Each structure stands twice: as C-alpha cells, then as structure tokens.
Amino acid sequence: MRRLALKVDSKGRIQIPKEIREELGIGNEVSASIQDGIVTIEPVEHIFDRLSREVRFNFKGVEESMPKLRRAAEEELSKQIL
C-alpha cells in the first residue's frame, strides 16, 4: 500500500497527481465511498470506454463480454434516471 500526501484547497478539492491518475485509469469521474472514517476513491469506467477498448483489442472478447456490457449499460442508465 502506498500513502500519498495530497493538499486540499480552500474549496475542499484534492488534486491527484497526473502519474497516479494515469496509473489508476482515472478520467473525469470517480466514485467515492466512506467506511470507518476512510475515504476510498475509485475510477469510474464508462460503458463506452470499455466497449471501445474491447473492440480495439479483442473483437471476440466483445461477443463474450456482451452480457456484462449490457448489464453495465443498464446500470448506467438507471443511475442517470435517478
């Protein structure tokens, strides 16, 4: 486990260094959770990014991944509706 010292600005924003964002695949959106006083931040992978990656690197993988991709798309749609 690595620990990072990050600064918080006057608006409560934390900047994650570029090399860490790249390593973790963090784009424009993250998911955060709090448990026992610990904040966990995880990258959010959008369904279109996942599908695009599958098509570029492994077309057969797309066929095998379709049920998972469909469920992820349905979950994303339900989040947007709520």
pLDDT of residue 3: 87
Range of the domain at 67: 47-81
State the DSSP string of 19-65. HHHHHHT--S-EEEEEETTEEEEEEPPPHHHHHHHHHHH-HHHHHHH
Query: Residue 25: which residues within 8 A CB-CB, separation 6 or more?
Result: 43, 45
Quick: pLDDT tens for 29-46: 888 899 999 999 888 777
Number of domains in the chain: 2
Q: Are residues 14 and 39 in the same domain?
A: yes
Q: What is the pTM of this model?
A: 0.51
Question: What six digits make up the tokens of 6?
Answer: 């990050």
Residue 39 and residue 51 share a domain: no
pLDDT at 81: 66
Residues 6+ apart with CB under 8 A from 81: none
Tokens 């990014």 identify what position?
A: 49
pLDDT for residue 19: 92
pLDDT in tens, 48-81: 766 666 666 665 666 677 777 778 878 877 776 6
